Amino acid sequence: MSLPTEDQLEDLRLAVYESFRRTGRAPDRAALAATVGGDEGTVAAGLEELARQRHVVLDAAGDILMAHPFSAVPLGFSVMGARTLWWGGCCWDAFALAHLLPEEPDVLVATRCPACDRPHAWVVDRSAPPEGSQVAHFLVPVAHMWDDVVHTCGHQRLFCNEGCVDAWLARTGSAKGYVMSLTTLWKLASGWYAGRLDRGYVRREPSASADYLRSVGLTGPFWGA
């Protein structure tokens, strides 16, 4: 197995994201090898490095589960564009797709309240937050989101109201996390993934991430401070 060069690694990252962007699905290693050149061993090594850098999330077999904000598996949200259906990894990611995909004038985000199973849907675009009194609940603070990122994403959900949040917490025995409005969620999602589809994208340093969270009105408890 040969290790990919820096250029090959970026080609691989972009190929993963382009597959999600066009089809809503993760590419397999054979398709990636054909797209970027090289063998499947090099692709596997490249995916492991991208996972180490937190660009993708892999399952136990080394297959792609997530490339935020895209997900290869349903985690509570569907996001429908003009011609493509995506899985949103969480409410944050589902709302972010409208901002990341300039070719989509808007997207339809759909989910169910985890407490009462009531269906909810919003047309999300880049002009203004969608209307609604629903709230987002983030169970895991930012400081611990990557301890188990699939668990984290599966518990960033939208509820009818704080009463439903409290009912779900009582039923599951979970401690309350961070609750925010649809407006704050939309602001959070609006610029978080900016540039991720472009060549040369670099993830924010932790200090820059904290500054971004403060800029959209999120207080210390959200990131575990």
Written as six digits, the tokens of 40 are 């499947």
Which of 4, 103, 20, 102 is CA-nearest to residue 57? Answer: 20
Q: Kindly state the percentage of the chain with pLDDT values over 70.
A: 98
Question: Is residue 70 predicted with pLDDT exceeding 90?
Answer: yes
Question: What is the structure's pLDDT at 206?
Answer: 83
Q: Residues with Cβ < 8 Å from 195, sequence gap 6 or more?
A: 201
Question: Is residue 1 predicted with pLDDT exceeding 60?
Answer: no
- Per residue in 110-163, pLDDT (tens digit) is 999 999 999 999 999 999 999 999 999 999 998 899 999 999 999 999 999 999
Cβ(149)–Cβ(142) below 8 Å:
no
| Largest CA-CA distance found in the chain, in angstroms, rounded | 54
Question: What is the structure's pLDDT at 194?
Answer: 95
CA distance 225 to 223: 6
| pTM attached to this predicted model | 0.94
- Per residue in 22-67, pLDDT (tens digit) is 999 999 999 999 888 878 888 999 999 999 999 999 999 999 999 9
Written as six digits, the tokens of 41 are 């061993």
Summary mean pLDDT of the chain: 94
State the distance between the two ends of the chain, measured CA to CA, in whole angstroms: 42
Kindly list the domain boundaries of the chain, sorted by start residue.
Answer: 6-67, 71-220
Residue 187's CB is within 10 A of a number of other CB atoms, namely: 18
Which class is domain 6-67? mainly alpha
Residue whose tokens read 């820096």: 6
Phi, psi for residue 132 in degrees, rounded to 5: 155, 150
Which of 48, 55, 52, 42 is CA-nearest to residue 13? Answer: 55
Which class is domain 71-220? alpha beta
Question: What is the structure's pLDDT at 4?
Answer: 80
Question: What is the structure's pLDDT at 113?
Answer: 98
